[in-house]
Amino acid sequence: MIFGAVLAGGTGSRMKSAPLPKQFLLLGDKPIILCTLTQFLRNKRFDAVYIAVNGEWLNYFQSLLTQYGVSDPRLRIVAGGSDRNETLMNVIRDIKNTFGEREEDVIITHDAVRPFVSQRLIDQNIDAVLQQVACDTAIPAVDTILSSQDGETVSSIPPRRELFQSQTPQSFPLWQLWELYKALSPQQKAELTDACKIFVLAGKPVRIIQGDVYNLKITTDGDYQIAQAICQSGLWQE
């Protein structure tokens, strides 16, 4: 089976001016979280589409689904966890309990605050992960990246040709992801920044899917302003 997972378990603490978690802010005439979810629900290849929401905002999210008329029999809602990876594990636990385990199961995960995800990106992730290989969506770094151990002086300047900016979707053979995550130490789990590192730590290959500059993650007030401009200008077209 092919599962989609839109992850919205955070509270958006880095957007200081927001009156509520950033995923619930309006983008054009619809909340960001529903813009993103709609893109996943449009793809008919998914057998089920999960959305994981911070537990304190579950009722509010349910009210948004009703208000905007979003309904799909494939949609399942779960509460988020203590961090991004635990939120993803909550999704997998529900899959295990509801659908059981099949060796060929795959999962396509995505940040709720990347509303401009295209059907191309979703489909290319599905095509790649069906070959039972993990994959990460990424774009080449266009700026020189500095490494600093103390935050004040430059420690090294890696070759730009080797550097990419990771986006989402990130997609995985489902039960391989589950087993590899369970095998990590508490310290390794605490240091994870995204799920692809679970495979990297285990020495497993992760394929790169060519990303899109419009596949913006809305994290700060500046990102939100850019997203509104993209939405209003029609620069991004599905």
41: three-class secondary structure by DSSP: helix
48 CA to centre of own chain: 16
Kindly tell me the burial class for residue 217, based on how many C-beta atoms sit within 10 Å of its own C-beta (0-12, 13-18, 19 or more). middle
Kindly tell me the burial class for residue 65, based on how many C-beta atoms sit within 10 Å of its own C-beta (0-12, 13-18, 19 or more). middle
For the chain, what are the domain ranges?
2-137+165-233
**Region of residue 89 (phi > 0: left; psi between -120 and 50: alpha; otherwise: beta):** alpha
User: Could you give phi then psi for residue 26, rounded to 5 degrees?
Assistant: -75, 135
Task: Give exposure, 74-103, as e/b (b: 16+ Cβ within 10 Å).
Answer: ebbebebbeebbebbbbbbebbeeeeeeee
Please state which CATH number belongs to domain 2-137+165-233.
Answer: 3.90.550.10
221: three-class secondary structure by DSSP: helix
48: three-class secondary structure by DSSP: strand
CB 66 within 8 A of CB 24: no
Closest CA to 215 of 84, 107, 115: 115
- pTM score: 0.93
The pLDDT profile of the chain, 238 residues, written as one tens digit per residue, is 999 999 998 765 555 556 789 999 999 999 999 999 999 999 999 999 999 999 999 999 999 999 999 999 999 999 999 888 899 999 999 999 999 999 999 999 999 999 999 999 999 999 999 999 999 999 999 999 999 999 899 999 999 999 999 999 999 999 999 999 999 999 998 888 889 999 999 999 999 999 999 999 999 999 999 999 998 887 666 6
